[in-house]
Structure 1
């Protein structure tokens, strides 16, 4: 299905690009990608929802078509951008599915604008602050010390299991290659400085937390802590899977998310055949 690209100006005048797919008039599912990635993160994934949901993606500042001055952005900044795009489209309520840094942004959106988020899905993400368990020194060094040309392979191994048939060159999850160093560093700070640890109890949206239990990028204990501190949250973990489990297990994860949306009245009950 063809995407419609929109230009929306954020409250501070920053020019954002957003993309819509799926049927008009259907409930909206906002898809929030990981750090240093544009909407292309969702290639091959968003289509799985678009039979019954209208999808909305946004190129974060510094990615894709959303380019401008590089400043000290935060997850609050990006959450405000999501709210501004929803406001521009006159969408008063939407389900929000955030992965990795997108899950951090989704937390902030659900905390600051509870009426805007009808349901929340948080995948391979962290609460930040005192509740967060960071990746190991070994994992950080493996990324930082990758030889030139080897960075995508190192990330690929952290995202996917050895059984995954894809290659680093074919993955859409390993970063936006058009980003400048300044933009990439700004995104690193956005993710690293996120802290919703003291605010998770304010989330009122029905929440589903998803995580691969062999995730070295964001250890799975972070999912447990999110589920413990968000009222009524449900938790599903996928044994043996890594940071990109939501792509590697796309059929299973899509079904889990759809069921969450049905249970909480976002989607109708599937018709009996």
Structure 2
């Protein structure tokens, strides 16, 4: 035994040095990797991660400051939806602060809602309620919308058009908003409205890359009817009384009819991998 140890001293030493060097290199590499990954770091996502098949029977919800973050279990909700559309602002015509928005129109829960769902890998689009009283006000609203939401890299920008707020040529005002938003750099701009409102007010929807129509039917909390219209649409808001685990109140539910429309709205039009 002593003889063998003597004969292997040089070779053994070289072997020991080799393995110690390898061990130290691996240890340093693991340490650097661990230190470079922050578990609390927020990284927005702008596309859906298809680690499973998309179940288009799951609702897409749209929310605002009226759905208080303190009352939402984001973990539960994230597992039950295919996407979320978050209100960024009410507009610039507010007279005073309310529970959901500040006097300047900024939605109080916008930032929290977006971050909480994006952290859970739920794709998020945004919308703004349109209520400028002139083309100039419409452009100012568009600027505010972009400035407030651009950092979150939303998948879609929606104009919520529900009331006529200009005495003359309201359609021109809405178009001024859209053009300014596009000028600022927003991609994938859509319009939310109702088919009868489009007809009654001569709203031109041809400039938008997507149309989102509200049509509730009996508003039962379930899908029981679809819009009877010649207007092409990709997204249908079918109830304001939807229920999900994780939030006690009512929620707006929306649906797509196929995966292609889903990808268009929440994955920048890319096909599933």
* TM-score normalised according to structure 2 size: 0.36
The structure whose Rg is larger is 2
Q: Pick 1 or 2: higher relative contact order, CA cutoff 8 A, min separation 6.
A: 1
TM-score using structure 1 length: 0.36
